Amino acid sequence: MAVPETSSGRHVAVITGASGGIGEAIARRLSDRGWLCVLVARRRDRLEPLARELGGEFEVCDVGDREAVERVAAALAERHPAIKLLVNNAGIPGRSSFLELEPERIEEVLRVNYLGSVWCLRAFLPALERARPADVVNIVSVAGTVAFPPAGPYSSSKHAQLAFSRASAAQLRGRGIRVHTVNPGFVETEGFPQRAMLRNPVLRRLVVGPDRVAEHVLSVLERDRAETFVPGWYRAAAIAQAFAPGLLARLLARRGGYRSSQKEEATRVDRL
């Protein structure tokens, strides 16, 4: 039996990586529109006051831990049998190459950025189906369409997440669940301090804030757009990758690196 709303008449949205940055910005906008937002992240100290401020709920969870995600989904199902929207936003950086980044970090980047979205969709799918029509927004990245050598592990994790998002979009549309892929470019957040980390001054000028992405996400939901870039002109990078992959990779390897891979550990606030 479909239960599209809570007893208070508010639609329920689950947002991962909601303790700051893009996730927080999306939660604020949805709350302003009357949604009940369930904030999911690792940092209770950030989640609890934000949920209180927004009149929402929170769950402490590392989305890279499949069993933890399943426990959270089961707990939420008791309170909210139907979930109208899932936003897979949680992610962590990997600001170094495959040859330099620690093996444990490479595994973590793949587990959180790619598998985290998979585990969340699988775990929350029954609740999404009870709320049909429902939506899933996967916050992927332009890095998922372009091989970015200075952050190879991160780029690879986003390539995998992009393939997952496209595949699930095709599979779930017929089941009443719309899957939207949002590919931001460089976004300045606490866990992703792009302006400080990027060496190339041209790339630094392309950095946008999380509010820009949040506004875009709401527009995507309203207009039912399948795959988008924010800002839109980042699509040109994906086209360049398709037509001249070798040339683009060499250019990015030479001109697009981060200032120091040693800052990786110092800025591991992430999007969790």
Known catalytic residues are 154
Q: What is the largest CA-CA distance in the chain?
A: 56
| Region label for 3, one of left (φ > 0), alpha (ψ between -120 and 50) or beta (otherwise) | beta
- Half-sphere exposure of residue 2: CA atoms within 13 angstroms, side-chain side: 10
Say how far apart CA 167 and CA 176 lie, in whole Å. Answer: 15
Sign of CA dihedral 97, 99, 104, 106: positive
Say how far apart CA 249 and CA 200 lie, in whole Å. Answer: 15
Say how far apart CA 124 and CA 107 lie, in whole Å. Answer: 24
